[in-house]
Amino acid sequence: MDDKLSNAQIAWRAAQDLEDGSYVNLGIGFPEMIATFQPEGREVTYHTENGVLGFGQAPEPGQEDWDLINAGKRAVTLKPGAAFFHHADSFAMVRGGHLDLAVLGAYQVAQTGDLANWRVGSKGVPAVGGAMDLVHGAKRVAVVTDHVTKDGQPKLVEKCSFPLTGVACVTRVYTSLAVIDIEGGRFVLREKLPQLSLESLQAVTGAKLHLDGPVGDLLVPETL
């Protein structure tokens, strides 16, 4: 589908829901872009599993301090009051329910909130990292993803066919076509691209989309 949001636009939309004063873990790769679009005036403290709380934006090229990296091995800067701690303490924060939000990528999300994001079938080397801890330790879990795979198959499905990261853990999905909540074992459509019909969206979604009130227009800046 050609008429869809870019990864940066999806990240921008997800960033608009960051709550002031929240503690947030952003998954490696695409979800990290969300920090770039944090709304002005909101204070968000970012956590990374390798033991940093309160890191800031990526440094300018050539200004990296490679002793300061996140879990994805990307260089970061530090905000005033940032803290370093042992890897075990970092996971104690996760498992102890001290994170308000975790935002992760996905291979599949089921209508029940099940998440598969660490392995596609039996291919590749398993690398779940801290995702299993995050999806059950954070108070809320959201996903950012393209709505379909590269070959056009739905990523939002009735039941995941890939190995699960977590069961009934995702509550909101930001895709290249829509914003969808997971409530009561159902996909509830909240926003969609205004030029996209409900029928067209349903055709590329692997489970029924439910309506619970008006559906808003998914509006983002054209260039980011």
Any bridge partners for residue 180, and if so which? 173, 189
Is 49 tagged catalytic? yes
Residue 157: beta bridge partners?
Answer: 110, 206
Strands (E) across 50-164 are located at 52-55, 78-84, 101-104, 108-110, 115-116, 141-145, 156-157
Torsion sign over Cα 130, 132, 135, 138: negative
d(CA 126, CA 219): 37
Q: How many C-beta atoms lie closer than 10 Å to residue 85's C-beta? A: 13
Which one from 32, 43, 49, 199 is the annotated catalytic residue? 49
Phi, psi of 34 (to 5 degrees): -60, -40
Contacts of 25 (CB under 8 A, 6+ apart): 46, 47, 48, 49, 94, 99, 101, 102, 103, 134, 138
Strand pairing partners for 103?
Answer: 26, 142
Give the catalytic positions in this structure.
49
